[in-house]
Amino acid sequence: MTTLALTVLGRGLVDPTQPVLRADDEALLRGRAAFETTRVYAGKPFRLDDHLARLSVSAARMDLPEPDCLAFRDLVAEALEGIGDASLRLVWTPGPSDGEAPVGFAIFGAIPAGHEELRARGMKAISLPIGVPYELRAKAPWILGGVKSTSYAANMAATAEAKRRGADDAIFLAEGEIVLEGPTTNIWWRSGQTLFTPSLETGILAGITRDFVIEAAPALGYSIEQGVYERSELAAAEEAFTSSSVRELMPVIWLDGSALGDGRPGPTQAALQQALRRAAATGSARPES
Ligand code: PLP
């Protein structure tokens, strides 16, 4: 990622080549920090308050100090001048374990190349079992299901495994082949005019883009069903796609070696992608009614 700007709580704009954390920071030593990623459209961060609210929830679930959301808002505003389209990552770490010195920072990066090409061709996915009952993922505080922590090495390893197997990304399955989410995405599929997605009771991340889809779909003629679904239901879909802040709505055209639907990007993903871009352009980031 090309870094465009960096702001640090209590320091303001900082040269991105300069160090921000101590070597004994908990984020580094144990992956014990919270983060958020959103997308900036023409200088407007998408649903920043929702991301800050989720940052606070993640921090609480990991027993980190509470982040100051107003200070984070100012931090983002400080760097926005001159930023057009970008990815925005917020990080909140408790600092070193021997003292109370939390550190918060915001990194603006260039949107990675290749997303539009992938959207046009559609993504290949493999399912990967994680061997945990979904009920446990949702409820066990030590598993941290649905928490955006900096311990994402396993998620990155899943994407790497997908690439090794000739796909673009992975979809995690809980015990019993229950569909969960991707390493950095929520998953959706369509049958007729109904869109299906795993419910939050499966311990998945409450995606902000997922919220957008839930709000925008009815106006486009789709109803939403959230539930506990097996892999076979996803495999039999007419169309599938993922949702996430930076990659937005991305078609999934292939699962575990077989075509999903007709093996091409579908109309629902395309309509939702357009709706997302329209909402992002208004600044309100709410779907048009
Ligand atoms: N699920 C996981 C595990 C994620 O890490 C992410 C985002 O990074 C998502 C889903 C999608 O969430 P959002 O739409 O808020 O980006």
CATH number, domain with residue 152: 3.20.10.10
Let me know whether 49 and 149 are in one domain: no
Let me know whether 139 and 254 are in one domain: yes
What was the pLDDT predicted at 193?
Answer: 98
Q: In what order do the strands lie in the sheet with 103-109?
A: 12-13, 3-8, 103-109, 86-93, 34-41, 44-45
Q: Please name the helix (run of DSSP H) or strand (run of DSSP E) that holds residue 109, with its range, or none.
A: strand 103-109
Q: Is residue 153 part of a domain?
A: yes
Q: Is residue 277 part of a domain?
A: yes
**Which residues does 30 contact at the CB level (< 8 Å), separation at least 6?**
151
Let me know whether 105 and 127 are in one domain: no
Let me know whether 242 and 182 are in one domain: yes
Kindly state if the Cβ of 243 falls inside 6 Å of ligand 1. Answer: yes
Q: Is residue 125 part of a domain?
A: yes
Please give the backbone phi and psi of residue 283, each rounded to the nearest 5 degrees, phi first: 90, -30
| Gap between the Cα atoms of 144 and 39, Å rounded | 24
Q: Is residue 223 part of a domain?
A: yes
| Gap between the Cα atoms of 46 and 38, Å rounded | 6
Q: Which of 55, 78, 109 is the last residue of a domain?
A: 109
The enclosing domain of 54 has a CATH number of 3.30.470.10
Given a contact cutoff of 8 angstroms between Cβ atoms, the answer to whether 100 and 63 are in contact is: no
- pLDDT per position as a tens digit, 160-183: 999 999 999 999 999 999 999 999
What was the pLDDT predicted at 279?
Answer: 96
Let me know whether 183 and 238 are in one domain: yes
In terms of C-beta density within 10 A (0-12 exposed, 13-18 middle, 19 or more buried), how is residue 152 classed? Answer: middle
Nearest CA to ligand 1 atom 2: 184
Domain span at residue 222?
116-282
Let me know whether 205 and 256 are in one domain: yes
Let me know whether 223 and 242 are in one domain: yes
Ligand 1 pocket test target in 87, 184, 199 with most atoms within 8 Å of CB: 184
Residue 39 binned pLDDT confidence (cut-offs 50, 70, 90): very high
| Gap between the Cα atoms of 151 and 143, Å rounded | 11
Give me the torsion for CA of 271, 273, 278, 282, rounded to 10°. 140
Q: Which of 109, 125, 142 is the last residue of a domain?
A: 109
How many structural domains are present in the chain?
Answer: 2
| Gap between the Cα atoms of 48 and 46, Å rounded | 6
Q: Is residue 289 part of a domain?
A: no
Given a contact cutoff of 8 angstroms between Cβ atoms, the answer to whether 119 and 273 are in contact is: yes
Nearest CA to ligand 1 atom 12: 207
What was the pLDDT predicted at 285?
Answer: 61
Look-up: residue for tokens 């004994």? Answer: 24
What was the pLDDT predicted at 1?
Answer: 79
Distance 187 CA to ligand 1 centre (A): 10
- pLDDT per position as a tens digit, 84-116: 999 999 999 999 988 779 999 999 999 999 999
What was the pLDDT predicted at 213?
Answer: 98
Residue 9 binned pLDDT confidence (cut-offs 50, 70, 90): very high
What was the pLDDT predicted at 99?
Answer: 77
What was the pLDDT predicted at 283?
Answer: 67
Kindly state if the Cβ of 171 falls inside 6 Å of ligand 1. Answer: no
Q: Is residue 287 part of a domain?
A: no
Dihedral sign, CA of 281, 35, 143, 139? negative
Let me know whether 131 and 213 are in one domain: yes
Mean pLDDT of the chain: 96
Let me know whether 14 and 95 are in one domain: yes
What was the pLDDT predicted at 167?
Answer: 98
Structure tokens given for 281: 């352009």
Given a contact cutoff of 8 angstroms between Cβ atoms, the answer to whether 85 and 167 are in contact is: no
| Gap between the Cα atoms of 227 and 221, Å rounded | 20
| Gap between the Cα atoms of 10 and 67, Å rounded | 13
Look-up: residue for tokens 């082949």? Answer: 177
- pLDDT per position as a tens digit, 221-272: 999 999 999 999 999 999 999 999 999 999 999 999 999 999 999 999 999 9
Q: Is residue 288 part of a domain?
A: no
Q: Is residue 98 part of a domain?
A: yes
Let me know whether 208 and 128 are in one domain: yes
Kindly state if the Cβ of 245 falls inside 6 Å of ligand 1. Answer: yes
CB atoms within 10 A of CB 63: 9
Let me know whether 148 and 220 are in one domain: yes
Residue 192 has pLDDT above 60, yes or no: yes
| Gap between the Cα atoms of 72 and 63, Å rounded | 19
| Gap between the Cα atoms of 112 and 12, Å rounded | 25
Let me know whether 156 and 250 are in one domain: yes
Residue 282 binned pLDDT confidence (cut-offs 50, 70, 90): confident
Q: Which of 71, 89, 109 is the last residue of a domain?
A: 109
CB atoms within 10 A of CB 40: 24
Nearest CA to ligand 1 atom 8: 184
- pLDDT per position as a tens digit, 131-164: 999 999 989 999 999 999 999 999 999 999 999 9
What was the pLDDT predicted at 287?
Answer: 67
| Gap between the Cα atoms of 56 and 34, Å rounded | 8
